[in-house]
Chains A and B, each alone.
Chain A
């Protein structure tokens, strides 16, 4: 029994929405970051579902590149969070208001 592509898309949408909710309602910058990772992961899931549906390897290539970008993004983002924590003593995003007027 093959899993239909609709199921992959439904799960992908659900995970992406969870990630969006996490980015919106959480205050901790690290948890927001994890939610972003979850959104990237859900997009990967849609790519894999389509790759399986069309029997093409290109979807898997895109997942490969998304993974690379995610790794680079995590390295830079966590370094930023550490720098902000050193500088401000907090990683709650509503404490970071120096660009607000």
Chain B
């Protein structure tokens, strides 16, 4: 199980690196799909079967289709051009800053005192348990979510339809 975790984690990291460090937007999108599938596999290892299925359907399916559709619409087949003024210094500084953020997160997690792990609960992560929780404890956030999606649909249509003046 740990071997599988390491393999999937390596796939996720390599494909994530290719998303960031390689200049073609279309290839970035395709590598991001690989990344999402690897993370979905890790969810399966963590006994979150429902979330893994949702990850594949929503992220690797719907969201990435939207990305690829927009890339096709904007005709971004060429690699990212070099900027008029090269800013290598900013990029280096930004990467150092990101490393600092990572160090901060590592420090925070090592300082945290985790309580001991619980006993295994039968059926954790199956759809029935998630549905029970969703419609009892998390009913209000669930309903608010539907309003959020409605607002997003209306906003997307308005933005994409009319020209921004």
Give A88's nearest chain B residue, CB to CB. Answer: B164
Q: Is the CB of A41 within 8 A of B59?
A: yes
With the chains together, A13 CA to B16 CA distance in Å?
A: 12
In the complex the two chains form, is A65's CB within 8 Å of B141's CB?
yes
B97 near A24 with CB under 8 A, answer yes
A48 and B43 in contact, given A17-B102, A34-B28, A72-B148 (Cβ under 8 angstroms):
yes
CB within 8 Å of B: which residues of A?
1-3, 5, 7-9, 11, 13-22, 24-28, 30-31, 33-35, 37-38, 41, 44-45, 48-49, 51-58, 60-61, 63-65, 67-76, 78-87, 91-92, 94
Looking at chain A's contact residues, the main secondary structure is: helix
CA distance A89 to B50 in the complex (A): 41
Q: Which residues, 104 to 132 on B, are CB-close (under 8 Å) to A?
A: 105-106, 109, 114-115, 117-121, 124-125, 129-130
Measured CB to CB, the closest approach of chain B to A13, in angstroms, equals 5
> Beyond A13-B105, A38-B19, A73-B152: 17 further Cβ-contacts under 8 Å?
A3-B2, A11-B9, A15-B35, A17-B98, A24-B94, A24-B97, A25-B91, A31-B80, A35-B19, A41-B35, A55-B120, A56-B121, A70-B58, A82-B159, A82-B160, A87-B163, A91-B76
Contacts of A5 in B (CB 8 A): 114, 117
Q: Closest B-chain residue to A81, C-beta based?
A: B70
Instruction: Determine the residue in chain A with the shortest Cβ distance to B5.
Output: A3
Given contacts A57-B124, A79-B159, contact A69 B148 (CB under 8 A): yes
A91 to B71, CA, bound (A): 11
Contact of A38 among B5, B32, B155 (CB under 8 A): B32
A39 to B50, CA, bound (A): 21
B interface, how many residues as a size bin? 35 or more
| Identity of the chain A residue whose Cβ is nearest the Cβ of B42 in the assembled complex | A45
**14 A-B residue contacts at CB 8 Å?**
A7-B9, A11-B42, A16-B102, A24-B95, A25-B20, A35-B20, A51-B125, A54-B117, A61-B134, A70-B58, A78-B156, A82-B70, A82-B73, A91-B74
Report the separation of the CA atoms of residues A16 and B103 in the bound assembly, to the nearest whole angstrom: 12
Whether A74 and B63, one on each chain, are in contact in the complex, defined by CB atoms closer than 8 angstroms, is: yes
Closest A residue to B163 by beta carbon equals A86
Contact among A31, A57, A67 for B28, CB-based, below 8 A: A31
Q: Cβ of B97: which chain A residues have Cβ within 8 Å of it?
A: 24
User: Across the two chains, which residue of chain A brings its CB closest to B71?
Assistant: A30
| Complex interface: chain A residues within 8 A of B16 (CB) | 15, 18-19, 38
